[in-house]
Structure formats: C-alpha cells, structure tokens
C-alpha cells in the first residue's frame, strides 16, 4: 500500500529484518554474534523508519499512519525481546537461593525422626529441580526452555512465497 519506491525497499528491508531477528535469537549464547545481529536489526529499523517518515511527510493518508504505527509496534516488540535476553537473575539473588536451599536441606534432614532414605533425598532433589528450572529460565538462548521462534519462521516462509506487486 506504500508508494512504489518505498514499498519495494520496505519489503526488502522487512525480509532482511526477519533474518536478523532469527540470527538474534540463535546468537544469544555467543555475545559477538548476538551483538552483530542486534546492530544489524537496529540498522534495518533505522532505514525502515527513515522510509516511514518520508512517506508520512508526503502522504498523510490513513495507510501511512497505520504503517508508521505498525512499524513502531514492531520496534517496541523487538526491544521487549532483546530485554528478555538481557534480564538475568542477579548474582546476589543466586547466592540467596543457594543459601536458603542449603539451610532448608540441613534443617529438614536434622529434624527427621526416622531416617528413611526417600525422605532424606526428596527435599534436596526437589530443591535441585527448582534451582535447575530457575537457571534454565534465566538463560533463554540455551537450555530446555527457549524463546519460541516458530512465528518468525512462519513469517519468513510467508514473505518468501509472497508474490511481488
């Protein structure tokens, strides 16, 4: 719906942007790769924004307004995803979790009246599982729990089969 030169340029930039976003998710464990993908996606955002500003200055229709709004929302969602990679459990909290866990294990084992083996290992195993779950949630780029990228892969496939106008 954008004017001809901006439509084709924006379409190409959006294809590149999807690739950059997928690289961003894949490169989360490798800081250099992550930063490269982050810089690439921000450069593409800047180019898209320049096109959007130019279009909105020349074309004050509802279509231009919707495009600018959706582009702004795309950039906001990108920042939320990047923040999810940046938000980590601080080391003092990890230390507190480990201390509380150790205290819980020692006080539980010292207060048992019967020394049945299952009751001795049940609390430490439960605490270990909870700590492992917290650690896995804290590292979104590796481990069992990861940010889901299926929507981005579907978008990439849809953009690749989309017939150019």
Residue 42 and residue 64 share a domain: yes
Q: What is the pLDDT of residue 99?
A: 92
Residue 76 and residue 21 share a domain: yes
pLDDT at 117 over 80: no
Contact (CB, 8 A) for 22 and 157: no
Contacts 24+ apart (CB under 8 A), 132-135: 134/89, 134/97
Residue 162: other Cβ atoms inside 10 A: 10
What is the per-residue DSSP string for 110-128? HT-SS--HHHHHHHHHHHH
Q: What is the mean pLDDT of the chain?
A: 82
Cα–Cα distance list, 110 to 58, 102, 117, 128, 161 (Å): 76, 12, 13, 19, 65
Residue 67 and residue 113 share a domain: no
Give tens-digit pLDDT for 29-55. Answer: 677 888 888 899 999 999 999 888 888
Task: Give the range of the structural domain holding residue 69, as residue numbers without chain letter.
Answer: 4-87+148-161
pLDDT at 110 over 90: no
pLDDT at 28 over 70: no
Give tens-digit pLDDT for 57-80. Answer: 887 888 788 888 888 998 998 888
Residue 62 and residue 27 share a domain: yes
End-to-end CA distance of the chain: 10
**Looking at the domain assignment, is residue 95 inside a domain?**
yes
pLDDT at 8 over 70: yes
Residue 143: phi, psi to the nearest 5? 100, -170
Q: What is the pLDDT of residue 42?
A: 92
Mean pLDDT of 5-17: 86
Number of separate domains in the chain: 2
């Amino acid at each position: 719906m954008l004017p001809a030169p901006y439509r084709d340029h924006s379409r190409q930039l959006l294809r590149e942007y999807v690739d950059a976003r997928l690289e961003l998710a894949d490169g989360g464990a490798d800081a250099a790769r992550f930063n490269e993908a982050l810089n690439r996606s921000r450069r593409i955002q800047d180019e898209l924004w320049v096109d959007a500003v130019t279009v909105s200055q020349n074309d004050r229709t509802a279509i231009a307004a919707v495009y600018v709004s959706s582009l702004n929302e795309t950039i906001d969602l990108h920042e939320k995803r990047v923040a999810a990679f940046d938000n980590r459990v601080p080391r003092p909290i990890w230390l507190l979790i480990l201390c509380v866990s150790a205290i819980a294990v020692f006080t539980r084992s010292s207060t048992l009246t019967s020394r049945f083996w299952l009751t001795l290992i049940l609390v430490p195993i439960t605490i270990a599982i909870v700590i492992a779950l917290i650690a896995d949630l804290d590292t979104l780029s590796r481990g069992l729990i990861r940010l889901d990228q299926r929507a981005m892969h579907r978008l990439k496939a849809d953009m690749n089969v989309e017939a150019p106008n």
